[in-house]
């Protein structure tokens, strides 16, 4: 069974994001980029399935610019067998990514596609669900446990009320939650081996899809600065401010 893991290149989670002065987007000059943390969890889960004998091949896939090859090489160092870059200079958005991945899935015929539940830049939490709809595959989102049982995959999902267990017929789509696993670190020998692993590059035109943006970002602004706290002299003064200024009590 093949396992395909879409990954995204994002600003490293340790970096403080800066907005461009003109408000047109995020300033990426000289900024460290990395694999989206939820996608790393997806790679780790796929590698664990291979180590357990449930999968035979792990394929990391990215949609974006040539620079995404760096993150794909990281995935190869973490245990993926090969990588595919769907290269485009367009700004990639969830629907375009889902279309490209669905076209690739039609060629690869992966038994399981593992998404990170969301990216830490856009926070849209849409791509996996859109892909599942386009590829006509069942989905188990926000997974905290994944188990292969023959031609089925059992997924324990984290939902508002607790945990929900679903069983999906493969091929299927899973999106990872934080508690699914803890990703490993890439060792130096594996980093060196990753340089020799295959990395294929396709264009959206090769796959017959259009990934052009369908939304326009009008403005990007940093969150408002938190106001300084104040000290009140009494409980009565606190209640008065909560009631008349903050208006959080009546």
pLDDT digits (tens, 9 = 90+) for 173-217: 999 999 999 999 999 999 999 999 999 999 999 999 999 888 888
Cα dist. 24→10, 16, 211, 215 in Å? 17, 17, 21, 14
DSSP state of 62: E
Contact at 8 Å (CB) between 154 and 146?
A: yes
Choice between 74 and 90, residue whose per-residue pLDDT is larger: 74
Contact at 8 Å (CB) between 146 and 180?
A: yes
Write down the pTM of the prediction. 0.87
Over residues 242-247, the mean pLDDT reads 86
- Token output for 184: 């490993």
Cis peptide before 171 (omega within 30 of 0): yes
Tell me the pLDDT band of 46, cut-offs 50, 70 and 90.
very high
Residue 214: Cβ within 10 Å count: 10
Over residues 17-38, the mean pLDDT reads 90
> If you compute the radius of gyration of the chain from its CA atoms, what whole number of angstroms results?
21
Structural domains of the chain ordered from first start: 2-244 (3.40.50.620)
* Per-residue model confidence (pLDDT) at position 7: 97
Residue 104: Cβ within 10 Å count: 23
**Using one digit for the tens of pLDDT, what is the confidence trace for 80-133?**
999 999 999 988 999 999 999 999 999 999 999 999 999 999 899 999 999 999
* Per-residue model confidence (pLDDT) at position 101: 97
């Amino acid at each position: 069974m093949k396992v395909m893991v879409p990954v995204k290149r994002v600003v490293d989670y340790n970096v403080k994001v800066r907005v461009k002065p003109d408000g047109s987007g995020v300033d990426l000059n000289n900024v460290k980029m990395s694999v989206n943390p939820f996608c790393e969890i997806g790679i780790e889960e796929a590698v664990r399935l291979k180590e357990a004998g449930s999968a035979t091949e792990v394929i990391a896939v990215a949609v974006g610019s040539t620079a995404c090859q760096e993150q794909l090489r990281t995935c190869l160092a973490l245990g993926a067998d090969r990588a595919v870059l769907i290269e485009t200079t367009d700004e990639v958005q969830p629907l375009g990514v889902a279309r490209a991945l669905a076209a690739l899935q039609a060629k690869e015929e992966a038994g399981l596609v593992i998404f990170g539940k969301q990216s830490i830049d856009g926070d849209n939490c849409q791509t996996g669900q859109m892909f599942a709809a386009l590829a006509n595959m069942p989905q188990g989102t926000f997974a905290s446990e994944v188990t292969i049982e023959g031609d089925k995959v059992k997924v324990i999902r984290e939902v508002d009320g607790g945990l929900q267990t679903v069983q999906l017929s493969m091929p299927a789509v899973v999106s990872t939650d934080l508690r699914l696993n803890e990703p490993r670190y890439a060792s130096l020998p594996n980093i060196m081996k990753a340089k020799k692993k295959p990395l294929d590059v396709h264009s959206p035109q090769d796959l017959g899809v259009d990934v052009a943006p369908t939304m326009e970002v009008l403005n990007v602004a940093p969150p408002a600065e938190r106001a300084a706290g104040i000290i009140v002299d009494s409980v009565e003064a606190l209640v008065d401010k909560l009631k008349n200024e903050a208006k959080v009590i009546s």
